[in-house]
Amino acid sequence: MTELPVSVRLNPFKGCDGPEGAAVPWSPYGRTLPSRPVFTLDPLFHAGCYYVQDASAMYVGHLFRKLIQRFDAPVRVLDLCAAPGGKTTDAAVSLRERFGHEFLLVANELQRKRASVLADNVAIWGDPAVRVSSADPAAFAPLKGFFDIIIADVPCSGEGMFRKDPRAEKEWSPELVKLCAARQKRILADVWPALRPGGVLLYSTCTYSREENDDNLEWAARTLGGEIIPPEDEFGLRRTDFGHLLKAGEVQGEGQWAGALVKNGVAASHAAGEVKIPGQMTRLSRGEQKGKDFIPNPDYVLSYDYQGEYPSVELALRDALRFLHRDSFPLEAAAKGYNVVCYKGHPLGIVKNLGSRCNNLHPLSRRILMNIPAEL
């Protein structure tokens, strides 16, 4: 069996350390690798220096970069079906490069288990302007006109994943296409009030069916009230009536379709004041006070906002993996108390050094389960 292409997207705000590969044409930080490494055994992956993402999925990020040119700061964005976090982290980089700190990106995932994975990936990536929520799309409707852009990478019949996931092919049927198309309409209708007039819906799927792609975007424009942004010829990609279709075998990636529309109406100024995001998980604080002790938040030291409050300890590869495995090991040369452990200068997390041993504060949900090879 031919090895499927694998690609990563580098994090420019963490120095762009990561695997080397051929450039992805539509992603400034995307790289297609010559072979698939064992990402679990690369501490830079766990430090948020890069994200493993399909090259075709990065095309949504390309369209997003074009769309944000329409807006001035501050900008509010909702990534509606965000898990596991590829499009979220891509959008976060584009927003920060254009708007600095003046943006809010809400990454939402309805399923709680997938939302927890999303929250971990967002924390590792490190952008403090990203908030994670777990709510039904309809829960955002009361936030009338709150978002400038909504990214809706909706659940679909998955034809674009057949090469990568044999289960998707086995589960596919014409009835599934109809079911997914109807569900996608409901999702768009439910969240539509939260998009401001003049705001943009970026709609995408990983399927090839017209019912779930062009037809649904046309339905949204006609029924909900919007104007489709005509697709342009670029990168030699397939152009459909209302978007672009990337097919496995034609590009270095799996299947993806994406298109966009502008909501009818005159853009209004953002309302002042705080707004509660439905189902929001507040994860990024510097820590919490427990009695007389202040317990630092491991997410904080991974964020762009980390100010270097704690001593740092550089770890060799094996010890970095032992930390990520959540092992306890001595750090005789380190200062007693809280230390940030690093690999190649990149923070991995926090330990509390007791002298003879250290307490490992790496979150249990991020612990690597793979046994560490003896030769490392």
Q: Tell me the catalytic residues.
A: 206
Closest CA to 127 of 279, 298, 301, 305: 305
Q: Which helix (H) or strand (E) holds 317?
A: helix 317-324
Handedness of CA 225, 230, 234, 238 (dihedral sign): positive
Measured CA to CA, the distance from residue 71 to residue 85 in angstroms comes to: 23
Measured CA to CA, the distance from residue 154 to residue 168 in angstroms comes to: 16
The number of beta carbons lying within 10 Å of the beta carbon of residue 121 is: 21
Measured CA to CA, the distance from residue 50 to residue 29 in angstroms comes to: 9
Q: Is residue 269 packed enough to be buried (19+ CB in 10 Å), middle (13-18) or exposed (0-12)?
A: exposed
The number of beta carbons lying within 10 Å of the beta carbon of residue 312 is: 15
Per the CB < 8 A criterion, the answer to whether 123 and 283 are in contact is yes
218: which residues sit within 8 A by CB, 6+ positions away?
228, 241, 242
Location of structure tokens 């055994």:
41
Measured CA to CA, the distance from residue 205 to residue 213 in angstroms comes to: 7
List residues bridging with 201 in a β-sheet.
150, 261
Q: What is the dihedral of CA 279, 54, 211, 218, to 10 degrees?
A: 70
Please compute Rg for the chain using Cα positions: 22
Tokens for 375, please give them. 């030769």
List residues bridging with 287 in a β-sheet.
296
Tokens for 189, please give them. 């209708």
Per the CB < 8 A criterion, the answer to whether 323 and 360 are in contact is yes
